[in-house]
Amino acid sequence: MHAKKTNRTGLVAKKPGGRVNKMRWDLRLYVAGKTPRSVAAFVNLRKICEEHLESLYSIEVIDLLENPQLAKGDQILAIPTLVRKLPAPIKKIIGDLSNTERVLVGLDIKKNRNTPNY
């Protein structure tokens, strides 16, 4: 269903492969300026993605101080907010993503990846 969709501009965009080709994580991180919390969130997110999603993800960072009009689209209130655009349904994770366990639950990564021994 997403085969024809063009990739969003992001930090990383990689083609999914193998049997999980329909699983692709399209993530968006909303921050407001380079606050320590924002930086921490980005660092935490990168780490989690690298560890659990390998190359099946893309992260787009949106700084609302630069583009305040973008806050409306994803209904952003809390900063930082991580939005999982794909796979559907949309999920929102708020906070600096320091609790890895909760991030994985929030992104539904553990369940979909079937890795109980993680």
Residues that bind other proteins (CB under 8 A): 30, 32, 37, 40-41, 44, 64-65, 68-69, 71-72, 75-81, 89-99, 102-103, 105-106
Q: Which is nearer to other proteins, 21 or 118 (CB)?
A: 118
What DSSP string runs through 39-50? HHHHHHHHHHHH
Tokens, residue 112? 């979909």
Q: Which is nearer to other proteins, 14 or 74 (CB)?
A: 74
Q: Which is nearer to other proteins, 38 or 58 (CB)?
A: 38
CB of 30 to other proteins, least distance (A): 7
CB of 92 to other proteins, least distance (A): 5
Angle value at C-alpha 110, between 10 and 116, nearest 5 degrees: 145
Q: What Cα–Cα distance (Å) separates residue 19 from each residue in 16, 23, 24, 85, 86? A: 9, 9, 12, 21, 17
CB of 17 to other proteins, least distance (A): 28
The Cα 75–Cα 70 span in angstroms is 9
Contact 41, 29 (CB under 8 A): yes
CB of 57 to other proteins, least distance (A): 17
Q: Which is nearer to other proteins, 37 or 113 (CB)?
A: 37
